[in-house]
A and B are shown apart, each in its own frame.
Chain A
Amino acid sequence: ETGVTQTPRHLVMGMTNKKSLKCEQHLGHNAMYWYKQSAKKPLELMFVYNFKEQTENNSVPSRFSPECPNSSHLFLHLHTLQPEDSALYLCASSQEGMDTEAFFGQGTRLTVV
């Protein structure tokens, strides 16, 4: 384990469902990120949180709603998703202001049916 844990590992949901992805980091980092990884596509940055404040939203549709209650936890709330939202969702954390690597969670494989 790298210190970043994501749950669930796999999720299948219908287009009318509401679900949440959870990310937890035990590294004492102050920045957390959500990335989307689709087949044959690069890692797409979705949201950035620094010190619990959202500092970036990369034109992500409103059916994705992030939440960062504290510097150790990050959620991604999902509702009325589309089949094209099926992808691997990766959480990462790092320490702002330092040249240190970003650590990734194992990801949640999401399938929208």
Chain B
Amino acid sequence: GENVEQHPSTLSVQEGDSAVIKCTYSDSASNYFPWYKQELGKRPQLIIDIRSNVGEKKDQRIAVTLNKTAKHFSLHITETQPEDSAVYFCAASNPYNQGGKLIFGQGTELSVKP
């Protein structure tokens, strides 16, 4: 089955700096890669996703890159702000197999210091 590895487990940056979180996956059939943000005491919420036919996607300060050959994808946050502090999870799935179940990475606790 699918296995997703995520690094680092914790990340501390100064406000205004960039943050990068990396994930690798094992199942080459996976073709959908979402990123979720979970604030303390709240549910995970989707912030950006990428599909296998795209190499990069950007939404304001957030970008995601995908390298299907190497089976890894990354989240990039630029100009970080204190409200970006949260736990970020990457995930991989194949929506056309087994209901598109999401297999999550271990999570990265991002702390943005003012």
Q: Is the pair B101, A48 in contact by a Cβ cutoff of 8 Å?
A: yes
Chain A contacts for B49, CB-based, 8 A: 99, 101
Q: Is the pair A56, B51 in contact by a Cβ cutoff of 8 Å?
A: no
Q: Is the pair B99, A31 in contact by a Cβ cutoff of 8 Å?
A: yes
- Contact status of A43 and B104, CB under 8 A, knowing A97-B95, A97-B96: yes
Q: Is the pair B101, A45 in contact by a Cβ cutoff of 8 Å?
A: yes
Contact for A90 among B43, B99, B100, CB less than 8 A: B43
Q: Is the pair B102, A96 in contact by a Cβ cutoff of 8 Å?
A: no
Chain A contact residue count (CB 8 A cutoff): 29
Closest-by-CB residue of B relative to A32 is: B99
CB distance from A112 to the nearest CB of B (A): 20
Chain B binding site: helix, strand, loop or mixed by DSSP? mixed
Q: Is the pair A43, B89 in contact by a Cβ cutoff of 8 Å?
A: yes
Chain B contacts for A98, CB-based, 8 A: 95, 100
Q: How many residue pairs bridge A and B at CB < 8 Å?
A: 72
* CA of A35 to CA of B43, assembled, Å: 12
Q: Is the pair A102, B100 in contact by a Cβ cutoff of 8 Å?
A: yes
Chain B contact residue count (CB 8 A cutoff): 23
Interface centre among B99, B101, B103 (most CB of A within 10 A): B99
CB distance from B18 to the nearest CB of A (A): 24
Closest-by-CB residue of A relative to B101 is: A48
Binding site for B on A (CB under 8 A): 2, 30-31, 33, 35, 41-43, 45, 48-50, 55-56, 90, 92, 94-102, 104-107
Binding site for A on B (CB under 8 A): 6, 32, 34, 42-46, 49, 51, 89, 95-96, 98-107
> Can you name 26 A-B pairs with beta carbons within 8 Å?
A2-B43, A30-B99, A31-B101, A33-B99, A35-B104, A41-B106, A42-B104, A42-B106, A43-B44, A45-B102, A48-B99, A48-B101, A50-B98, A50-B99, A55-B98, A96-B96, A96-B100, A97-B100, A98-B100, A99-B51, A99-B95, A100-B95, A101-B46, A101-B49, A102-B100, A106-B42
